[in-house]
């Protein structure tokens, strides 16, 4: 394990501990603020298809945002975790069409569209644990979203990470395959990187 891996593991642990300490009220308040801010993004307002994810546990909440996007006619694609940690995708058809999957994740119960379906999106909402001033995102370490982002290389797709305010940090350890995001949305505001 290299120094970058150790640094990432330490930072992940610190950030996850801080999330675990958040109250239910803080999580709910952040979800409402994130939803409002994200819906106001031009990248989402103009998108016919958005790839997103269903928040679980203390992740910054996406459920109200997913429903708001669906209600305004946006096609929302949600990930389905494959055994090799890659992501398949399926259309979001509402909260009643989510099923509990491995690792405590919620996934859509509809037809699987294949890993390349993410390329149909005009915007991708990404989970993460932190983002730095360069727009580099720190994920949980499984590499699933790194693969999805690699499929979007060269495409004009808005890459937006949803985080708590304290998760915008000075610097995250980076590796050659890490790709910057275009923006971060927090309850406190929106920051753009490119």
State both tokens at 72: 């305004």
Whether pLDDT at 176 is above 80: no
Give Cα separations from 159 to 77, 80, 148, 176, 194 (angstroms). Answer: 14, 19, 11, 18, 10
Domain count, the chain: 1
DSSP of 149-185: HHHTTTS--EEEEE--GGGB-S-----TT--B-SEEE
pLDDT in tens, 124-134: 999 999 999 99
- What is the per-residue pLDDT for 143? 83
pLDDT-based confidence at 155, cuts 50/70/90? confident
pLDDT in tens, 8-35: 889 999 999 999 999 999 999 999 999 9
Question: Domain range spanning residue 136?
Answer: 3-192
State both tokens at 54: 């269903």
Residue with tokens 């958005």: 50
Mean pLDDT of 130-149: 90
CATH number at residue 94: 3.40.50.10420
pLDDT in tens, 45-103: 989 999 999 999 899 999 999 999 999 999 999 999 999 999 999 999 999 999 998 77
pTM, 2 dp:
0.92
């Amino acid at each position: 394990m290299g120094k970058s891996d150790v640094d990432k593991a330490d930072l992940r642990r610190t950030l996850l501990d801080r999330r675990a300490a958040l109250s239910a009220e803080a999580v709910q308040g952040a979800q409402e603020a994130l939803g409002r801010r994200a819906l106001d993004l031009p990248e989402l307002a103009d998108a016919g298809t958005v790839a997103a994810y269903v928040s679980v546990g203390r992740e910054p909440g996406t459920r109200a945002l997913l429903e708001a996007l669906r209600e305004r006619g946006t096609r929302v694609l949600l990930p389905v975790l494959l055994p090799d940690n890659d992501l398949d995708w399926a259309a979001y058809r509402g909260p009643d069409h989510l099923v509990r999957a491995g690792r405590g994740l919620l996934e859509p119960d509809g037809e699987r569209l294949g890993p390349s379906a993410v390329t149909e999106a005009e915007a991708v909402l990404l989970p993460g644990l932190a983002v730095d001033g360069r727009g580099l995102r720190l994920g949980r370490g499984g590499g699933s979203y790194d693969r999805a982002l690699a499929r979007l290389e060269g495409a004009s797709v808005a890459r937006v990470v949803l985080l708590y305010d304290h998760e915008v940090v000075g610097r995250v350890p980076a590796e050659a395959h890490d790709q910057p995001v275009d923006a971060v949305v927090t309850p406190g505001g929106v920051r753009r990187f490119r």
